[in-house]
Structure formats: structure tokens, C-alpha cells
Amino acid sequence: DVVLYGHTHVPFVEQSSQMTVLNPGSISRPRQSGFECTYAWMEFLPNGEISIEIVKIPNSHKETKSKSNLKGK
């Protein structure tokens, strides 16, 4: 089973033998420490396993933070 959720803007992955829980974070408004923009790459492998990678977009936190400041956030 896979549970996907969002809205927190904070990336999170937890996998057990029965369940995978994934929050990809946020590209436009990250809230985790460092404000790095993230997304998730999830792959269903032929052997039945699930591979998940939280991908960080390099140096995106500077641009995102300045855009947020322009919007008064």
C-alpha cells in the first residue's frame, strides 16, 4: 500500500514491509529547514518493491525565498 499526502510542504518518506508513506515536499513553497525545493521520484520495480527518491533542486532555496519575500510571505 502507498499513502501520498501533501500540504505540509515538508518532504517525508517512511517505508515498512506493509506500507509506504510519502510527502514529496514542495517546489514552489518549501517549509523545511534550508527552504530547499523538493519533489519525489517514485518507481514501482519489477520485483514488487517501491523505490523512492526525494530530489532536491540545487540552490533553489535562494530564489524561492526571495520570491516569497516579494509576495509579503
Alpha-carbon distance of 29 to 68, in angstroms, equals: 8
pLDDT value, residue 31 = 82
Extended beta strands in the chain, E state: 2-4, 12-15, 20-23, 38-44, 50-56
pLDDT confidence of 65, banded at 50, 70, 90? Answer: low
pLDDT digits (tens, 9 = 90+) for 6-63: 888 899 999 998 999 999 988 888 788 777 889 999 999 999 899 999 998 876 555 5
Q: What is the DSSP letter of 12?
A: E
Q: What is the DSSP letter of 60?
A: H
Q: In degrees rounded to 5, what are phi and psi of residue 34? A: 90, -10
